[in-house]
Structure 1
């Protein structure tokens, strides 16, 4: 990539970090930018995943208080996320790139639609919020978390929305679901970092530019999140994501 391309990547990664802190969906901005700048779709996907990894650590730090008394659950869910993230990452790297080219428009569209219904899902879960007490987590929750993190390892766009939905329904505690979402996203992202770092077609120059920009963007977004309405930003991301999926459909 040229110096101008790298400046574009840095700027978009900064914006993606801000978007992730305010509304979520930053991947739907950075991934198509990397494709537009000439990276093959698989390389753009793995590079995007690695570049946004630092932002997930900040999310975990921000929810430290919510993790009190959740050590056992974090370990159990974390193991599931490691298995799911590994499965998704290996699946991406071992299936033909043509298969990813076919499925990625569907995944981008799915991620965009999930982001669109996120406020509705959040309101519903908040209305049903309660305390499960000492009852064990339902078995189906582990299966759903495994499938969600497989998706996260394979593509990852709007993974946080999926995790909040699954955890909110399974635990009936939205605040805890949101906190656990950040932890499981970080675990999944760390797995993809290791697998893709060792075996994936990562553009490390892009990562060197995008990762710190994304981290700064996440910090800035967290500071201004209460001052910027998330709804118009979410609408923009959803419309942009749908447009990207239509473009990718036309290419496949």
Structure 2
């Protein structure tokens, strides 16, 4: 790998970390960046998942105050994330390369549409808090099951898994956006870490590409919470989602021709 490619992957990781903080679509930047280095689709996805672990480390380390007092809630959700991450990794390892190349555009398109149609997270948090105030309740019994289902997708590919998980936590727990987002970061980080461990043990990781990408993702994860507080989120989310749809069309054209 040339110094130029190394630097470009660091920048791609930084952009992916920030994109993940704003819209939950880190893979929208990091996955095509890996494809651009010449990696085949499954190797690029595996390498991306491994690199994303440091993004989670960065974002969780920047959100420790918001995780205070959520230990009892976090344990069962983390256990569900472990199971889901393992299942997602197994599914990916069983998917033929050509089939995965054809599936990815649909996953990116669906993730981008989810970003476009989702209500702003602050609105979801307000609705969840209002419901909690009107009808106080514990976390719903199905929350670990929902977490496991999203973690399966996160371990398999993961674009917009954070969007789905954050929306679920905001509406079901009654927590505000900072604590709900911190919970999402921690739980999804567990799913990514478990899937990444499976990939390291059972398939090939392009470490020369993973390391600079991971460095950028870590920096992006650390900077992301501060950027989110100041950025015009609705406009940025729409731009990111439209870019995702464009990427989906581009990858589909490559896969189906």
TM-score normalized by structure 2?
Answer: 0.88
Matches within 5 A, 1:45-56: 45-56=45-56
Question: Between Structure 1 and Structure 2, how many residues are aligned?
Answer: 252
1:209 aligns with 2:200: no
1:74 is paired with a residue whose SS is helix
How far apart are 1:135 and its partner, in Å?
A: 4.0
Structure 1 unaligned blocks of 5 or more: none
C-alpha separation in 2, matches of 1:111 and 1:28: 9
How far apart are 1:121 and its partner, in Å?
A: 5.2
C-alpha separation in 2, matches of 1:85 and 1:249: 26
How far apart are 1:107 and its partner, in Å?
A: 0.8
Residue 106 of structure 1 corresponds to which residue in structure 2?
Answer: 106
How far apart are 1:85 and its partner, in Å?
A: 0.5
Matches within 5 A, 1:23-38: 23-38=23-38
Matches within 5 A, 1:12-161: 12-120=12-120, 122-130=122-130, 131=132, 135-161=137-163
Q: Cα gap change, 1:200/1:118 in structure 2, threshold over 3 Å: closer, same or farther?
A: farther
1:196 is paired with a residue whose SS is helix
What do the CA deviations read for 1:2-47 (whole angstroms, capped 9, x no partner)?
4433332222112222323344322101111211331111111111
- RMSD, aligned CA: 2.3
6-15 or 182-191, which moves further after superposition?
6-15
Contact 1:80 1:142 in 2 (8 A): yes
Residue 170 of structure 2 corresponds to which residue in structure 1?
Answer: 168
Contact 1:29 1:237 in 2 (8 A): no
How far apart are 1:122 and its partner, in Å?
A: 4.2
Contact 1:13 1:213 in 2 (8 A): yes
Q: 2:223 aligns with which of 210, 217, 220?
A: 220
C-alpha separation in 2, matches of 1:151 and 1:125: 23
1:240 aligns with 2:243: yes
C-alpha separation in 2, matches of 1:69 and 1:17: 26
